[in-house]
Amino acid sequence: MAVSFGKATYAKTVQRLIERIYNHSPLKDSIYEQAVLWFAAKPQEDKQAAALEQQLYLFENNQSGAKGKGTARNLKEAESQSQEFNNQVEEAKFQRYSELEAICYDVLQLCQSDTFVDTNQQTAKMLGTIQLMSPTKGRQVAKTNQKARHLYKALLSLRLLDRLVMDGLIDHPYIMECYQASKELPYAENAIHHPYRDNIHVTVLMAAILQDIGRCHPSCQLLLKGPEGNFDEFRELEADERNAFLQDSYNEAFTYVQHALSKGRYRGRDRDERDRFVRDEEQKRELLLLLLKQAARPQEGIGNVLRIPQIYTSMVLSTKQSYNYEDLPKAALALDKSAELGKISKNSVAGFLRIVGMFPQGYGLPYIPKDSDGNDMDRYEYAIVAGLYPSNFRQPFCRIVTYSLTYQASARACVLSIENNLYFAPARKKLEVIPEERLLDILRKLVYDFQERMASPLIPKFWHPYDYFLHTKNQNLWNKAIVISN
């Protein structure tokens, strides 16, 4: 039977969402590619707008003193040119806004449900798929992570917002107004106006996607890629370069929101409905700008909704040369440490860590299985983290992907105990009594690549599930499964 490699339908859908946000393609139609084009064209657009405005002013004030039909004709033509130019600019702004909004609704369709449990399962599936589609070693790690991190961060921002609202840690009047108004409404019905979905969730997704859009400005691109465009954009910047980059990126993100994007357009005929729509669009724009502004210095404010996922994502989907897959679980610990030092909101971090636990979605963990009597066996097997809201921070919910040292489509799940999770030293110590020949035999059966096998420790802390996930039959780690004890 032929083995299918590549991406199954769901993984292809997630990949397409990633590429609609950030990509490098001849079409240049992703959100970030469009931003590069807009920033590059803005000086000429501003110059053209100023010239048309000056021409119109001259004809309106009849500077030449001429009278008659010629002057009226020139004025009319100037008005027509100015109107046509403004219409083109506004239409382009609306098209950019519409594409961004469409992406947000497509994200919500994949990660939202009418129940808390289903919503978290669907979000875990998206996060895990993003991680598992991303190589964890080799030359493509930085480029792949750069593309994927915007969607990854947006999903986490969404879930953190909900957690903070449920915990009473959000006091923004408009958010709470929309939340209260939506409590009894079905979320998945697109035909029904759902204030929390349409006004808050969409806006938070937009803010998360646009948070780094300022990096598309020429000044930031110059710092990243150099005058000839041949610098490694993922290199570590000097302190003064980094400060300039962060400041420019922050400022230009506001420029982009305010000048490159329009607001939504009302298409109905009901006056009251139109008034509500216009009010909501104004409130959404204010919230979007507030989220971006406060993310820089969130303290206890709403900026944590963006800032905490941004920090976490920068470590889990790192673009640094020092990237090490083993260190991914340290992202959660680093957030906890930052909160302890007062750098970010302790309450908000606590809510976030309650969602993600210690181990990122899609992370590969080896563990010691138990026999039917509950005794530890003399081997380890492989599992993949596949669930949010673990009951214990250090005990992830996982899908088991090997059974009796044989890979299989996932049909079992378990909560990995600290005692048997090889990421932790006490579990690894248990296997030190196993003969080396036995450990080598386990390694031969579980590791795909011979070179990787030669470089792997006999008792591993983690494993790379990327190759496993390349098989399309292995890409549904989130279906119903038998849960066994560990």
Nearest to 414 by CA among 395, 399, 404, 392: 399
Domain co-membership, 120 together with 258: yes
pLDDT tens, residue by residue, 139-161:
999 999 999 999 999 999 999 99
Domain-terminating residue out of 302, 326, 356: 356
Report yes or no: 358 and 166 within 8 Å, Cβ to Cβ.
no
Q: What pLDDT sits at residue 204?
A: 98
How many angstroms separate the CA atoms of 448 and 446, rounded? 6
Please name the helix (run of DSSP H) or strand (run of DSSP E) that holds residue 399, with its range, or none.
strand 397-403
Domain-terminating residue out of 295, 325, 356: 356
Q: What pLDDT sits at residue 367?
A: 98
Domain co-membership, 350 together with 370: no
Domain count, the chain: 2
Please name the helix (run of DSSP H) or strand (run of DSSP E) that holds residue 403, with its range, or none.
strand 397-403
Give the range of the structural domain holding residue 394, as residue numbers without chain letter: 364-483
Q: What pLDDT sits at residue 304?
A: 96
Report yes or no: 31 and 19 within 8 Å, Cβ to Cβ.
no
How many angstroms separate the CA atoms of 15 and 313, rounded? 17
Q: What pLDDT sits at residue 69?
A: 60
Residue 407 lies in a domain: yes
Domain co-membership, 188 together with 252: yes
Nearest to 174 by CA among 198, 199, 193, 155: 199
For residue 22 the two structure tokens come to: 């950030």
Domain-terminating residue out of 356, 380, 414: 356
Dihedral pair phi/psi, residue 398, rounded to 5°: -130, 155
Domain co-membership, 285 together with 305: yes
Q: What is the dihedral sign for C-alpha 8, 13, 14, 15?
A: positive
- Spell out, as residue ranges, where the chain has pLDDT lower than 70: 1-3, 5, 63-70, 448-454
Tell how far CA 277 is from the center of its chain: 28
Q: What pLDDT sits at residue 451?
A: 64
Q: What pLDDT sits at residue 481?
A: 83
Q: What pLDDT sits at residue 450?
A: 60
Residue 150 lies in a domain: yes
Q: What pLDDT sits at residue 271?
A: 92
pLDDT tens, residue by residue, 337-360:
999 998 899 999 999 999 999 999
Report yes or no: 111 and 119 within 8 Å, Cβ to Cβ.
yes
